[in-house]
Amino acid sequence: MPLSEHEQRMLEQIESALYAEDPKFASSVRGGRLRTTSSRRRLQAAALFVLGLVLLVAGIALPVRPGGFPIISLIGFIVMFAAGVLLLLGGAKGASPGRGGASPGEPPGTGSSERAGGRGRPRRSGGFTERMEDRFRRRFEE
């Protein structure tokens, strides 16, 4: 269910207040997401997956089984698992920290060109939690 315009504005206000209050935490939270992988990383992961699949099948087909356990198949499975991990987590290392050209310390949607015009909001007195509590009280008073 999509958010209403009022809810979207409230969410943007909370997000900008979070960035203003603690930009280091906000950028670390934003940086924790899984990112899209590059085509090169996908190709590497696919090749590694195919290699693991070949090892998995070869471990069953070949008579090499030390102690009666198909060790080659186990290695193939581990290689396939590593390919999946590479695909999911490997793209986060080289990806850019934000979207739309925003630097790590500023909220998404605010670029340096937007700041240059002097349209930034003046910072209000009081802490983040105090403002959120006031908004919460006003919401239920109305």
Q: What pLDDT digit, counting tens, does each position of 22-32 carry?
A: 878 777 776 55
Q: Does residue 93 have a pLDDT over 60?
A: no
4 is a domain residue: yes
Does pTM top 0.75 for this prediction? no
Q: Are residues 31 and 42 in the same domain?
A: no
Given its phi and psi angles, is residue 109 left (phi above 0), alpha (psi -120 to 50 degrees) or beta?
A: left
Q: Are residues 23 and 47 in the same domain?
A: no
Query: What count of residues does the chain have?
Result: 142
Q: Are residues 3 and 30 in the same domain?
A: yes
Give the rounded percent of residues in the chain with a pLDDT score beyond 70: 68
Tokens of 142: 């109305």
Report the number of distinct structural domains present in the chain.
2
Per-residue pLDDT band at 96 (split at 50, 70, 90): very low
Which range of residues forms the domain containing residue 49? Answer: 38-89
